[in-house]
């Protein structure tokens, strides 16, 4: 399993995998590793092979495992995958055209939707790549989902994301306040990816005018060790925003946990912004990315 590589178009990272458990994600990435570059051909897995690829530790009967596999595709079908093309058409689709699970034969047979096989085939640029074994070794679903987004920026070592898009992409409950995001989402990410990638998470705050209350959390910059470009050439490095390297930007989320995010959509109602935060928000169209196109163009893309 150590040689298995997951590789797909960066556009797949703009899709939030809602309600996926850690095991669901392991199974999906195991499948993705094997259907890559197979076009629309059917690809068959035995249950034993799929369990090995997904690094499944606990014992499951054939019927239980079959239900687990089927649940992965049910969640995929419920997502309504979508992206925008060059004409800004919004296209929705199902990732797999065929997905047959057989408890009796102990097999899974899948085929990729022909219109959208580009997500997993003929990838020459703008793709995300990582080792399957490294992914399945992670325990938290939040750590797994963050990990694969970081791998899109593996050559620059910086992922910048607004709070709104971070919530959407990692399926963070809307009810979570910043203090709860810190405890239940960022803590497992930092604990698992910190040692693995030398990850540091920098919080971005919206400064308020003196006397107007505490700053509000508006986004994150994830800083980690970049991978070397094949051939030994030095990788380009994206600089962190100036305010990130100051103590002001690194203060605890406890300081802002009870502060609502101001409504910047009303002209003249929002607080004054420092230049780095203004640039951060401008790059996201105000509060967050405008969609798949904005996601790619808002920050440097990874090759």
Please compute the mean of the pLDDT values over residues 62-87 and round it to a whole number: 86
Note the pLDDT of residue 265. 37
Closest CA to 299 of 170, 167, 156: 156
CA of 195: how far to CAs of 132, 138, 203, 256, 267, in Å?
Answer: 18, 12, 19, 27, 43
Residue with more model confidence, 236 or 207: 207
Residue with more model confidence, 42 or 249: 42
| pLDDT tens digits along 264-293 | 334 444 444 455 555 555 554 443 332 332
Note the pLDDT of residue 287. 39
Sign of CA dihedral 177, 180, 185, 189: positive
Note the pLDDT of residue 256. 41
Residue with more model confidence, 8 or 117: 8
| pLDDT tens digits along 42-54 | 999 999 999 999 9
Note the pLDDT of residue 241. 73
| pLDDT tens digits along 135-170 | 999 999 999 999 999 999 999 999 999 999 999 999
Note the pLDDT of residue 240. 74
- Nearest-10 crossing angle of helices 22-35, 47-54: 110
Note the pLDDT of residue 289. 33
* pLDDT reading at 249 higher than 50: no
Note the pLDDT of residue 271. 44
DSSP bridge partners of 203:
220
Cβ atoms of residues 92 and 85 within 8 Å: no
Note the pLDDT of residue 278. 55
């Amino acid at each position: 399993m150590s040689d298995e590589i997951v590789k797909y178009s960066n556009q797949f990272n703009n899709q939030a995998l809602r309600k996926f458990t850690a095991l669901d994600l392991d199974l999906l990435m195991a499948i993705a590793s094997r259907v890559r570059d197979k076009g629309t051909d059917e690809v068959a897995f035995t249950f034993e092979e799929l369990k090995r690829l997904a690094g499944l530790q606990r014992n499951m009967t054939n019927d239980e495992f079959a239900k687990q596999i089927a649940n992965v595709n049910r969640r995929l079908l419920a997502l309504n995958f979508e992206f925008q093309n060059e004409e800004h058409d919004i296209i929705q689709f199902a990732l797999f055209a065929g997905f047959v699970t057989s408890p009796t034969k102990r097999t899974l047979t899948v085929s990729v939707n022909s219109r959208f096989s580009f997500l997993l085939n003929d990838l020459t640029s703008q793709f995300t790549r990582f080792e399957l074994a490294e992914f399945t070794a992670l325990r938290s679903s939040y750590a797994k989902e963050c990990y694969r987004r970081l791998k899109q920026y593996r050559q620059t070592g910086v992922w910048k994301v607004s709070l709104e898009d971070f919530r959407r992409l990692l399926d963070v409950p809307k009810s979570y306040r910043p203090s709860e995001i810190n405890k239940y989402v960022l803590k497992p990410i930092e604990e698992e990816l910190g040692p693995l990638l030398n990850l540091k998470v920098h919080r971005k705050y919206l400064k308020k005018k003196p006397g107007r209350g505490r700053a509000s959390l508006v986004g994150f910059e994830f800083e980690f060790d970049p991978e070397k470009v094949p051939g030994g050439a030095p990788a380009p490095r994206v600089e962190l925003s100036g305010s990130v390297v100051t103590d002001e930007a690194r203060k605890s989320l406890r300081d802002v946990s009870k502060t609502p995010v101001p409504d910047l959509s009303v002209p003249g109602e929002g607080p004054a912004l420092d230049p780095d935060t203004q640039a951060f928000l401008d790059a996201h169209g105000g509060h967050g990315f405008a969609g798949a196109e904005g996601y790619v163009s808002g920050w440097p893309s990874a090759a």
